[in-house]
């Protein structure tokens, strides 16, 4: 029997054998749905196409792939592993695993706590736009090939302060309500139902886009590299995207790992999540770029690609109105699972570290998020002039997290696991205490976590921020 089939049969046979004092995911499939639900999100549908379009297409994709394999995957395994071993929130995990360390490793958890608020600050707003666009698409308001009209519709939405706040708070209430149901009844159940729907819808839209006349140019943009566009900054953006995409560097995967079952095969789970997430990104790219080129729209418009360009693309294809509604529904679905996982980091910390009930922890987090988030929600209207380093709150939250906090968090986790925790404990954790015979995998992961990931993160960060 291979390691994989062994773990799978273990998943199936002992579904209810672990007594759970702490809430957690109940089945192997549930773990996969929730973890994949965290990774797949607006990062695939909004960020990935926008950044790929802005940074030259295939060459960027290749750098992103390398960052995902050499840094993202090992950091994800490391996070899930320490989370499951400690069975605690993102701050207590480090306290429990390194009680006598001179360096305060728990700061990694505190940084994650802060990053969760900053990411949710802008993420809830983009999610709000996506939800609003389901309605806009259904009403036919944006069903036009005139980019001036779709652009005006987007500007009208984002520069309306009352509406921006209302949709953001609406999103927060929705996510909060699911989170209050708990880990297994809220997060696991929701993501298990929604993830298959998401895949199905995305394939449908992708096939439609690929069968358009002239789709080939878009595919070439996505898959034929031109390396002249690659600079140190672009590499940092690609690595930031790898962290953002796989929900790494801020304790999300530590927290979710703490809900994993003991018999879960972590390297296999992480690899599956990485591959499935990549598939969704590529499907989103395949849905978007052929259509963009077929209709002669510029691929490099950036963050507004999803809201200004995409509607014109849909408007110019047969049955475009139906596909557009479907597309924004699937984007909304993707956003929900991701936001649940972002919320879970502060909720778990307040719940366990500060002994608040899950309900109160969620309520407090939501109120704080509404405050932090409103700065981003209003950044195209009331607070547009409040800037730091020339960036408004929305852009600043995005930049600070993807380019600094997440890579730094990932660096600390990799160094902690590789150099403080060490090979022996890691081997016990990844082999499920000797049950799995996966020595080769463990050695490879260890080398990546101890040497490759930290060195790459350091070089890419310093170079990308212009420090050397
Ligand atoms: N991965 C999600 C996306 O692509 C976003 C996300 C969820 C995230 N949890 C995270 C990003 C934790 C960074 C850290 O949309």
Compute the mean pLDDT over every residue in the chain, rounded to the nearest whole number.
90
Backbone angles phi, psi at 85, to 5 degrees: -65, -45
pLDDT of residue 13 exceeding 70: no
pLDDT: is 218 or 67 the higher one? 67
Q: Where are the alpha helices (DSSP H) in 295-422?
A: 309-315, 320-348, 358-377, 393-399, 406-415
| pLDDT bucket at 21, cuts 50 / 70 / 90 | low
pLDDT at 298: 83
Element (H, E) at 221: helix 215-223
14 Cβ contact partners less than 8 Å away, ≥ 6 residues apart: 261, 263
pLDDT at 12: 41
CB atoms within 10 A of CB 31: 24
Q: Is 34 in the pocket of ligand 1 (CB under 6 A)?
A: no
Q: Is 46 in the pocket of ligand 1 (CB under 6 A)?
A: no
Mean pLDDT over residues 153-157, rounded? 93
pLDDT of residue 324 exceeding 80: yes
Distance 116 CA to ligand 1 centre (A): 9
pLDDT at 158: 94
Q: Is 87 in the pocket of ligand 1 (CB under 6 A)?
A: no
pLDDT: is 364 or 385 the higher one? 364
Mean pLDDT over residues 118-131, rounded? 96
% residues pLDDT > 70 (the chain): 96
Dihedral sign computed on CA atoms, order 49, 54, 55, 58: positive
Measured in residues, the chain has a length of: 468
How far apart (Å, rounded) are the C-alpha atoms in residues 35 and 270?
9
pLDDT at 16: 36
pLDDT at 62: 97
List pLDDT tens digits, range 79-112. 999 999 999 999 999 999 999 899 999 999 999 9
| pLDDT bucket at 319, cuts 50 / 70 / 90 | confident
How far apart (Å, rounded) are the C-alpha atoms in residues 365 and 370?
9
Mean pLDDT over residues 227-246, rounded? 95
pLDDT: is 17 or 324 the higher one? 324
Q: Is 250 in the pocket of ligand 1 (CB under 6 A)?
A: yes
Mean pLDDT over residues 404-429, rounded? 97
With b meaning 16 or more CB within 10 Å and e meaning fewer, what string describes 102-118?
eeebbebbebbbbbbbb
CB atoms within 10 A of CB 234: 19
pLDDT at 433: 95
pLDDT at 55: 93
Q: Is 75 in the pocket of ligand 1 (CB under 6 A)?
A: no
pLDDT at 310: 82
Q: Is 90 in the pocket of ligand 1 (CB under 6 A)?
A: no
Distance 412 CA to ligand 1 centre (A): 18
Q: Is 339 in the pocket of ligand 1 (CB under 6 A)?
A: no
433 Cβ contact partners less than 8 Å away, ≥ 6 residues apart: none
List pLDDT tens digits, range 262-298. 999 999 999 999 999 999 999 999 888 888 888 777 8
Please report the atom of ligand 1 found closest to the CA of residue 401: 13
pLDDT at 3: 45
% residues pLDDT > 90 (the chain): 68
Q: Where are the alpha helices (DSSP H) in 55-160?
A: 58-67, 73-86, 90-97, 107-139, 147-158
- Single pTM value for the model: 0.92
Distance 437 CA to ligand 1 centre (A): 32
225 Cβ contact partners less than 8 Å away, ≥ 6 residues apart: 57, 58, 59, 61, 62
Mean pLDDT over residues 63-90, rounded? 97
Mean pLDDT over residues 42-50, rounded? 94
pLDDT of residue 11 exceeding 70: no
């Amino acid at each position: 029997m291979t390691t994989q089939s062994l773990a799978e049969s273990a998943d199936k046979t002992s579904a209810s054998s672990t007594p759970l004092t702490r809430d957690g995911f109940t089945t192997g499939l549930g773990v996969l749905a929730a973890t994949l639900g965290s990774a797949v999100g607006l990062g695939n549908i909004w960020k990935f196409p926008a950044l790929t379009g802005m940074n030259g297409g295939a060459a960027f994709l290749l750098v992103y792939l390398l960052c995902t394999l050499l840094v993202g995957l090992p950091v994800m395994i490391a996070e899930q592993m320490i989370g499951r071993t400690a069975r605690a929130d993102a701050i207590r995990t480090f306290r429990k695993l390194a009680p006598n360390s001179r360096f305060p490793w728990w700061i990694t958890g505190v940084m994650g706590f802060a990053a969760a608020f900053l990411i949710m600050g802008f993420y809830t707003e983009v999610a709000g736009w996506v939800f609003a666009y389901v309605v806009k698409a259904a009403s036919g308001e944006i069903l036009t090939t005139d980019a001036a009209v779709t652009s005006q519709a987007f500007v009208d939405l984002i520069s309306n302060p009352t509406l921006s706040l209302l949709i953001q708070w609406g999103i927060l209430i929705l996510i909060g309500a699911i989170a209050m149901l708990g880990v297994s009844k809220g997060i696991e159940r929701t993501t298990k139902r929604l993830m298959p729907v998401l895949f199905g819808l995305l394939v449908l839209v992708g096939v439609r886009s690929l069968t358009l006349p002239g789709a080939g140019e878009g595919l070439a943009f996505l898959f034929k590299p031109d390396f002249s566009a690659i600079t140190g900054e672009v590499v940092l953006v690609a690595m930031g995207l790898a962290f953002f995409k796989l929900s790494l560097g801020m304790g999300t995967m530590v927290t979710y790992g703490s809900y994993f079952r003991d018999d879960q095969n972590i390297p296999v789970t992480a690899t599956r999540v990485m591959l499935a997430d990549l598939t969704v990104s590529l499907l989103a790219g395949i849905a978007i770029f052929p259509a963009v080129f077929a209709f002669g729209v510029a691929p490099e418009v950036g963050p507004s690609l999803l809201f200004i360009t995409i509607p014109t693309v849909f408007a110019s294809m047969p049955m475009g109105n139906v596909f557009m509604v479907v597309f924004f529904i699937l984007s909304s679905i993707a956003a929900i699972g991701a936001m649940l996982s972002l919320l879970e980091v502060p909720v778990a910390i307040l719940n366990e570290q500060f002994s608040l009930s899950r309900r109160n922890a969620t309520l407090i987090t939501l109120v704080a998020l509404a405050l932090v988030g409103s700065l981003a929600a209003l950044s195209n209207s009331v607070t547009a002039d409040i800037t730091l380093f020339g960036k408004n709150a929305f852009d600043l939250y995005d930049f600070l997290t993807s380019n600094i906090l997440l890579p730094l968090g990932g660096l600390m986790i990799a160094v902690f696991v590789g150099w403080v925790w060490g090979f022996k404990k890691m081997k016990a954790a990844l082999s499920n205490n000797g049950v799995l015979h996966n020595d080769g995998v463990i050695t490879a992961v260890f080398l990546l976590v101890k040497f490759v990931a930290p060195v790459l993160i350091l070089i890419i960060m310093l170079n990308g921020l212009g420090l050397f």
